[in-house]
Amino acid sequence: MTDSPERPERARPQAIPAQRGQRGPGRRRGTLVLLGLVVLGVLGAVVLGPRLFGGPASDYSGDGREDVLITVNPGDSTTQIAQTLRDRDVIANVEGFLAAARDNAEIAAIQPGFYKLRTEIPPALAVQKLTDPANRVGKLVIPEGRQLDDITMVGSGAVTDGIFTLIAKASCVELNGTRTCVAAQDLRAAAGDGPLSSLNVPDWAAAGAGVMGNSHRRLEGLIAPGAWNVDPMASPKDILATLVAQSADHYVAGGLLDAGTTTQMSPYEVLIVGSLVQKESKPADFAKVARVIYNRLNSDYDRLEFDSTVNYPLDRQEVATTDADRKTETPWNTYAMAGLPATPICSPGDEALGAAENPAPGDWLYFVTVDKAGTTLFTSDYQQHLANREQALSSGILDSGR
């Protein structure tokens, strides 16, 4: 490798200075550009400085620009709530909100859930809106004993909202003048769509629920009673999957997975028993009804013959059932088949489920409610049961309105 021949140094042109007392046009332009950059820098520091360098931005004023939903998560502190509000452009800075919320007991007690606010509002108004119960959306309350579908009572025509309808109503929200709701029929369709895993059905319930194929009733009993939060912006399937997952956690925390040690039943079967207990009796008799169920299942005559299991798939129900309905074979009718129904027939509450997990001691095989006050008589003797049933017939409680 050889060195390249040395090139002669190129002559450098000499600058011609401006005459003394004169300024060249290039120099004037450079000064103007520099001055403009300084002005822009000052403006940028005023407008963006707080965000760029961590200082508090000026608070918003006015009534806000548009509606927005924000989420308060379980365990969120006031500072975390403020950060959520800032990130969603509800408030301009965290410090202003914390100052407005200081010593506010309602903010300290704010519940997890979804809240409708406005973007670009003053911190004091954000505190006011966040603590106003009217601005909480997506709040769902499921009473004990509800089933997925609506039911209509024979005679009175009174309609009891099913869980799908309750969810649909809870999902309604109006944002910027437009009201939206998830439809109950869309929830029903989503309940039967896709694998059970896509709906977060737990492993302990998958085999039992899977018997129902793509029927929406495969989710019966898997959405627990109680207070829940529904994201109004979520899809029907995501809403159901969230509720099923949270309900499974609730059931497990209550000891459902351990119930088999005392009942010799799977967790899903105990859930079914709990639903029967819920539908067949009042709380004072829950544990005794649970014992009747286990005694009957372990007896030579293992048909439960519960009217609640006849009524379950009917959209029109009553305490009494017809001969024709009792003879109709369904996956739930315990007059027409031995053993438990295919699925729970409602969502049992904690007390009914607790009775299914820990039934009362006793040898009862029969029970019947004999009056409208709910008085229930238990016996292990069939002849005595027939006498008790005559008492029920005399009271009119078993009269049909059909």
Residue 189 confidence (pLDDT) above 90: yes
Rounded average pLDDT over 108-116: 96
Count other C-beta atoms under 10 Å from residue 380's C-beta.
13
Per-residue pLDDT at 6: 43
Per-residue pLDDT at 271: 98
Sign, CA torsion 25/28/34/39: negative
Per-residue pLDDT at 30: 52
CA-to-CA separations, 268 to 108, 168, 263, in angstroms, rounded: 39, 27, 12
- Would you place residue 8 in the very low, low, confident or very high pLDDT band (cuts 50, 70, 90)? very low
Per-residue pLDDT at 41: 52
- Would you place residue 262 in the very low, low, confident or very high pLDDT band (cuts 50, 70, 90)? confident
Q: What is the pLDDT of residues 84-104, one digit of tens each?
A: 999 999 999 999 999 999 989
**What are the beta bridge partners of residue 226?**
142
Residue 336 confidence (pLDDT) above 80: yes
Count other C-beta atoms under 10 Å from residue 362's C-beta.
14
Rounded average pLDDT over 320-333: 92
Give the list of residues 6+ apart from residue 275 with CB closer than 8 angstroms, or none.
Answer: 220, 221, 344, 345, 346, 347, 348, 352
Per-residue pLDDT at 203: 98
Assigned CATH class of 67-136: alpha beta
Q: What is the pLDDT of residues 140-172, one digit of tens each?
A: 999 999 999 999 988 788 999 999 999 999 999
Residue 357 confidence (pLDDT) above 50: yes
Per-residue pLDDT at 16: 33
Per-residue pLDDT at 396: 80
- Would you place residue 401 in the very low, low, confident or very high pLDDT band (cuts 50, 70, 90)? low
Per-residue pLDDT at 210: 97
Residue 397 confidence (pLDDT) above 90: no
Per-residue pLDDT at 261: 82
| pTM, rounded to two decimals | 0.84
Per-residue pLDDT at 260: 81
**What are the beta bridge partners of residue 378?**
367
Q: What is the pLDDT of residues 9-50, one digit of tens each?
A: 434 333 333 343 444 555 555 555 455 554 455 455 444 544
**What are the beta bridge partners of residue 116?**
69
Mean pLDDT estimate for the chain: 88
Residue 399 confidence (pLDDT) above 60: yes
Residue 4 confidence (pLDDT) above 50: no
Per-residue pLDDT at 73: 96
Rounded average pLDDT over 322-342: 95
Q: Which of 353, 382, 225, 365 is nearest to 303 (CA)?
A: 365
Per-residue pLDDT at 200: 99
CB 91 within 8 A of CB 83: no
**Structure tokens, 35:** 């001055």
Question: CA-CA distance, 29 to 294, in Å (whole number)?
Answer: 96
Residue span(s) of the chain under CATH 3.30.1490.480 come to 67-136
Q: What is the pLDDT of residues 199-255, one digit of tens each?
A: 999 999 999 999 999 999 999 999 999 999 999 999 999 999 999 999 999 999 999
